[in-house]
Amino acid sequence: MRGAIATKVNLFHRRCAPSPLFPICYDQEESIEHVLLLCPWVDHVWFGGALGLRIVKPAVTTLFAWLEGVWNNYPGHNEDRRKTLAYIAFTFWSIWKARCEVVFNSRQPSPERIILVVSMAASSFLEVCSDLGNTRIMVNERPNGSSGWFPPANGVVKMNVGLPVGRD
């Protein structure tokens, strides 16, 4: 969300890549929005997946704004919205991994395979979450402004994700 992902655009601006173009379509610059939401090849992943989403491309300004819009406009209870967010997160991750396969291994992406991977990963994750019952799941919570790693409280499942504190 802070623009730290090593997209071709970011690398190009840092003079670490010869071109900012997305190596799958070579039609647009590789911004995180283009990779995850706007490139034509991901249409099949989003619409063919469990959520059946059609991305309204002119409405996509930033990844955060798109996510916020989905969260605020998604019908249903918070539990349904959390499930949707899990599917979105696994879809983002799987699309990014497919992009990396193109960049590093010259393997063209398969939307069908990505849909399968997302479905299996999200289902497994949600099953584990439901098995935890009343166990609390924390999201980006730190006790009293502390920095760095801290152990979880009793009855809390902790999953460390993201960049170390103080890095962009």
Q: Shortest CA distance to 128 belongs to which of 96, 151, 159?
A: 159
Asked whether 71 and 85 are in contact (CB, 8 A), the reply is yes
The share of the chain scoring above pLDDT 90, in percent, equals 41
Classify the C-alpha dihedral 50-54-57-61 as positive or negative: negative
pLDDT (tens digit per residue) in 128-158: 887 766 555 555 555 555 567 777 777 777 7
Specify which of 12-26, 76-90, 104-118 reaches the highest per-range mean pLDDT: 104-118
Most confident residue range from 64-73, 90-99, 139-148: 90-99
Backbone φ and ψ of 163, nearest 5°? -90, 150
User: The tokens 């994700």 sit on which residue?
Assistant: 161
Q: Are 53 and 47 contacting, i.e. CB atoms less than 8 angstroms apart?
A: yes
Our CA angle for 1, 96, 125, nearest 5°, is 85
**Cα–Cα distance between 127 and 117 in angstroms, integer?**
15
- Phi, psi angles (nearest 5°) of residue 156: -115, 135
Give pLDDT tens digits for 3-33.
677 888 878 888 888 888 888 888 898 999 9
DSSP 164: P
Percent helix, strand, coil in the chain (nearest 5)?
Answer: 50, 5, 45
